[in-house]
Every structure is written in structure tokens, then in C-alpha cells.
Structure 1
Amino acid sequence: MRFQLTEDQRALRGGMRELLARHFDAEALRAAVERPGLDRALWRELGAAGFFALRLPEADGGVGAGLPEAVLVFEEAGRALLPGPLVATHVAAGRVPGAATGEAVVAAVDGGLVEWLAEADVTVCGDEGDAWDASGAVPLRSVDPLTPLHRVAGAGRTAADPVTDPVAVLLTAAEQLGTATRVCELAVQHARTREQFGRPIGAFQAVAHLCAQLLVRAETARAAVYAAAVTADPADIAAARLLADEAALRGTRDCLQVHGGMGFTWESEVHLHMKRAWVRTRRAGTSTESEELLAADLLAGVD
């Protein structure tokens, strides 16, 4: 089976990258860090581009594309560190009025946490996307300045249990893949331009090995994420999520090592990718959940 992208898929990915380059470049990213808040104009721009309505049928006002196409645009969003409850709003399109067009911002209760609650017009909970009263949520200090968090107060299944929608799990994996790809680019760029002892640091074996490992993990995760988007099999999605999380977490760490001390500064993009990757690992499809799903799938075939 071949998983080569079609011309339409490559055009979709390129179009999303161009849109984000125009509306959320490095300068906009820095401004968002300094003045946190959701850009409603950009959110509506995403809606107009079909970001949220991508998988809706054309008869319902959507684009009529599938899960592979959604993975491609979410990979680009992860690469650009685009802020906001992107997965929750995308999944809610067609169920929550205004979500598909970007007129409404939708947050979701996920494992006892809610991202972007204060900016949301609607908060949903559970696989069916039922509306949820957010009055009992407690604000947290998020490690990622571009992902404000609230913790759900109290116990109970609807409040404390994670969302299990496999689409949400896979789209999070696609965002992690975007981060893994971007930090690989940043590491290679820095290794080529930064000099020590009169030579680019990429000429040193230790740095070259780090860059090679970054690329291998990112491409391995890419193959798994793209394959899972085609099969939509829960076990494939769980495997893709594990590989994408690893590629993002270890990739940001290795990229930070290539950059040295400057990677920890606010002027560097690397630490923002690291913090976002940490936050994403707390969403549905965590390592434990995905490993248990894979184990159950393997045991199901044992007589």
C-alpha cells in the first residue's frame, strides 16, 4: 500500500502553510506570547479557509474532505505553534453552531483539564460533545504561555474522565508531528550557521548525531500518523500518538541541546515548542491510555 500524498493534498498543505505564514508568522507568535489571548479575526480566517469544516460533507456547508486531509492541516498548525482549542473546535464542527465557520470557539473537558476556557463560547464534555457548565473550573498556571488551562473541580465521570474520541487523539498526534518537524528544521538551521572553533557546529559528530535522530523520529512518526489517518483504526491511532509524542518530546529536548543555553531564552522558538508538546501529552490518548489500548488489541488476538 502506498501513502504518497495526492496533488490536492499537497496543495492543501501548502495553502495552509502560506495562510499561517501570512497571519501567524514569527512576529505574531512573539506578540501572542507577550499579550496572551485568542485572535478572533484569525479564528474566523481559519473558519473561512475551511480549517474547522474540513471533514463536514459539502451538503452541510463543509469541504467534504477526510481524516488524512485534517491531519495535514493540523500538522501545519502544530509546526506554526498556532494557539487556541483547535482540536475541540474542529471536532465540534457540525454539532455546535458557529464552530465550522470560526464564529464560535469551542473548548472541551479532557482528562480533568480544559484549554482556553475563558475564551470559549461553548464548553463541551464527553464523546457526544454535550454542553458543560464551566462554573466550577479552577484556573491553573500553565507551563505554556499560549495554552491557558483550567482544572475541573470535583469528581464524576463527565468531569474527570478523558475524552476518548480517536479523531481528537489523532489530530493531537498530528500537531505533535508538526512540532517534531519544526524543531528538526530549527536544529539543522542552527547547526549550519552557529560556529565554534572556526567551524559550523554541525560538523561535530555529536551535533550531527542529534540532528539525525531528530529526523529519524520525525519521519517515523509521520509514517505512523499518515497511516493511521488512512486506516482510522484505534490501535493504529494509539501507535501513532505514542510515536508522535516521543518525536515531539525528545525532539524538542535534542533541539534545545543543539541550541545550547540560548534555547532557554524567550527569544528562541525552541522552548515554546517544548512547552506546547508537554501540554499536549496531557490530552486524551496519553502514553498510558495508548499503551493499554495497544495491549488490549494485541491480547484480543491471543487464544
Structure 2
Amino acid sequence: MDFTFSEEQQAAAEAAKAVFSGVRPDAVPSPALVPGAVADDFDRPLWRGLAAADLIGLQLDPEHGGSGLDLLAFCLVLRESARVLARVPLLETGAAALALQRYGADAPGAAELLGRVVRGEYVLTAAAAGRTGHDSAALAVSARRDGEGWLLDGAQTAVPWAQSADAVLVPAHAADGQPVLALVPRDAAGLTLADQVSTSGERMAEVRLSAVRPQLVLDADGAWEWLRSVLAVGTCALALGLGQAVLGMTGEYASKREQFGHPIATFQAVAVQAADRYIDLRAMEVTLWQAAWSLAPADVAVAKIWASDGVRRVVQTAQHLHGGFGADTDYTLHRYHAWAKHLELSLGPAAAHEEALGELLAAEA
């Protein structure tokens, strides 16, 4: 079987490399250097560059201005963004737009909204704090019928880019327990934001909803589960890109850092640790592509297991092999470590995914 990427997928990855080539991972002051330093907004110039390169909506249908590519192409772009810690809501906007296209393309105003997303004029985020774990974020918000519409009550925590997004896609549960997805404009009456900060030092928010009337509601069976799987796979792609960048930094440092007259990369103990992390990354990669291709629950669980544990092991080994230099806040490794911890927490503990995988296998036995 041929596992190489298609020409279109490879072209998307190359275009992403070109757009992200000028991004500096240390462009924003780190909270480790300047206490309380948190950027007010995401990287708007970079966002415009992504739109100009047709990368924001590459996975959306051509009728909305997208390129009609698949989830693998989207993950290739996400991987490149994580290599440089790009501060853009690419995963959240892309996943939310895909859900709207899949389950609500016929809703009034949806087509126009998706076109604006592709052009970079409309930014989406997803309020799904437990999106990649085994607890359902939909239970945090209730959705009740009000005449011909809906009203939302509740709160979602740790919503990325909430202060900058134009709308939030909120999972909620109806009276019968059915999960729904509600698109809520950021300026909707009854919606308030409470500032939070992620472990990576990025601005987040608790989104509070009090009798909020959403712009539209996706109540199709499986919509929330599908969105959660896409967010999980996208987070695995970010973990892979970050891990590959960190291992590259570590290899370059180990080949130049000398002890006892030799580069430390020539020491067996160092080489074995680096080789173990290379194996982690290859496992993260193969399980990611399998999950992105199938979106099967078991495949997604396996990808999350490897990504959650793998990205943690990669940055820990990098810190160890860098020695004291790795903890120097003038060096960018500490920023990669902080982002890796955020991704690990977003994915949830590997043990929980192993438990979920066991339950899936038992149910099929």
C-alpha cells in the first residue's frame, strides 16, 4: 500500500511552511520573563497571511471558497503551525467551520459565514474544555427550547481565543440529554467572559451563558462527538509538530555541546534517550494519520494515548539533555515546554484514553 501524501496534501504542507517561515516562537513576551505578560490578541498579520494562502479554509468545500481537501491536509498545516508555536486559532476555527459545514450548511446564513471564515474575516472558537478527555463538555451547558428557538444557560471554562473570536461554538445538552452544538456570537446578550490564562501563557476565558439565544443550533445526531474527535486529532497534530521541533533543537544542541572533548551526542546514554524520543514521535505520527483518516473512536483513542505521553516525554528529555541551558528563559525551549504541557492537559491523561480504548475493544469482542 502507498502511504505517501497526495500532491494536494504535500502542496498544503509546503504552503504552510512558507507562511510560517517568518514566525518567531519568542515573539511575544513570556510570563516567565515578564510576570503577567499575556498577549491581548492572536497574531492578526499571520492570520491574514494564512487567509491569503488559502490555508484557513483548505478543508472546506469549494462552494464556500475552500479547497475541498481532507482532514489529513488540515493536520499537516496544524503540524507546521506548532513547529513555530504560531499564535493563531487555526485548529478551533477550522474544526468549528467543518462542523458547521457538515451539520448546518443549509441553515440560514451558514454559507455566507463559512465564506467569511475562508477569507479570514470571521474567527471561530470551540468551547470544549473536556474536548479530548473522556468527560463530556456538553454537560456544562443546558439548551432549552423557547418558542421556535433555543436558550443556553451554563458555563464553559478554558475557551481558547474567546476574547478575539467572533463566535463560539458551544456544546450543550437538551432536556432529553441529546448533545447539541450552538453557535453564539461573542457579543450576544447574556454572554460574559472571565479572563483565564493557559499554562502556555496564552489568554483564555470562562464563557458564561445566561439565557443566551444562539445564532444557530446543530442538533443532528453525532455532531458533538464528531467535533470532539476532530479537535482531538488536531491537538495530536499540534503535539507532533511541537515534538518534532523540540527534538530537532535537542539534536542540534547535543551535536555542538562538548564534554570531555567530545560532543555529547556521541555519548551512548544521550544517543539512547534521543532514539527513544524519535520512536515516540514516529508512533505519534503513524497513529495521528490513522486517526485523521478514519476518525474511528478506537483510532482516535490510540492517537491521544501516544500524543499525550509522547509530547511530555519529548520535552522532558530535551530539558534533561540541555542541562541548565534548557531552563534559561532567554532560550526558546522553555516556551515549547509550556506549550507542550498545555497540549498534554488538553488531551487528557493517557490512562483515561487507555481505559476508553479497553471499553471499546471489550464492546467489540
TM-score category, normalised to shorter length? 0.7 to 0.9
Residue of structure 1 aligned with 2:75, choices 71, 74, 78: 71
- Counterpart amino acid of 2:89? P
Return the index of the structure with the highest Cα Rg. 2
Say which of 81, 86, 108 aligns to 2:85.
Answer: 81
Q: Which amino acid aligns with 1:139?
A: D
Within 5 Å, give how 1:136-155 maps onto structure 2: 136-145=192-201, 147-152=202-207
Q: Paired residue for 1:104?
A: 122
User: Which residue is equivalent to 1:57?
Assistant: 61
Percent of aligned pairs with the same residue? 28
TM-score (norm. length: structure 2): 0.73
In 2, Cα distance between the equivalents of 1:282 and 1:47? Answer: 29
Q: Report the aligned-residue RMSD.
A: 2.4
**Other-structure match for 2:140:** none
For residues 141-198 of structure 1, the C-alpha deviation after alignment (integer angstroms, 9 at most, x for no partner) is: 43212x212235699xxxxxxx642111101110001011111111111110111221
Report the Cα distance in structure 1 between the residues aligned to 2:8 and 2:169, rounded to whole angstroms: 33
- Structure with the higher fraction of residues in strand conformation: 2
Distance in 2 of aligned mates of 1:93 and 1:50? 14
Tell me if the contact between 1:123 and 1:131 (Cα under 8 Å) persists in the aligned partners: yes
Cα distance in structure 2, aligned partners of 1:152 and 1:289: 26
Q: Which structure shows the bigger proportion of residues in helix conformation?
A: 1
For residues 237 and 50 of structure 1, do their structure 2 counterparts lie closer, same or farther at Cα, with a shift above 3 Å needed?
farther
Shift of 1:295: 2.3
Distance in 1, Cα, partners of 2:298 & 2:284: 15
Secondary structure of the residue that 2:29 maps to in structure 1? helix
Distance 1:129 1:215, change over 3 A: farther
Native 8 Å contact 2:83 2:241 kept in 1: yes
Q: Does 1:214 align with 2:232?
A: no
CA apart distance, 1:99: 2.3
- Residue in structure 2 matching 1:32, options 24, 28, 34: 28
Alignment check: 8 A CA contact 1:43 1:103 kept: no
> How many Å apart are 1:289 and its aligned residue?
5.3
The aligned residue for residue 159 of structure 1 is none
Distance (Å, rounded) in 1 between the aligned partners of 2:182 and 2:234: 17
Change in Cα spacing, 1:258 to 1:129, as seen in structure 2 (3 Å) is farther
Q: Shift of residue 242 of structure 1? A: 1.6
The match for 2:146 is none
Segments of 5+ residues of structure 1 without an aligned counterpart are 156-162
Whole-angstrom CA distance in 1 between matches of 2:125 and 2:5: 31
Contact 2:191 / 2:207 at 8 angstroms: preserved in 1? no
TM alignment of 1:169-248, pairs within 5 A: 169-248=232-311
Measured after TM superposition, the shift of residue 9 of structure 1 is 2.4
Asked if 2 retains the 8 angstrom alpha-carbon contact of 1:3 and 1:227, the reply is: no
User: 1:43 touches 1:102 (CA, 8 Å); kept in 2?
Assistant: yes
- Could you tell me how far 1:63 is from its partner in structure 2? 0.5
**Structure 2: runs of 5+ lacking an equivalent:** 31-37, 101-109, 130-156, 172-179, 211-223
Cα distance, 1:250 vs. partner?
0.8
Q: How far is 1:205 from its partner?
A: 1.6
Q: Distance in 2 between matches of 1:261 and 1:154?
A: 46
Q: Note if 1:249 corresponds to 2:302.
A: no
Amino acid at match of 1:221: M
Task: Read off the aligned partner of 1:30 and give its amino acid letter.
Answer: D
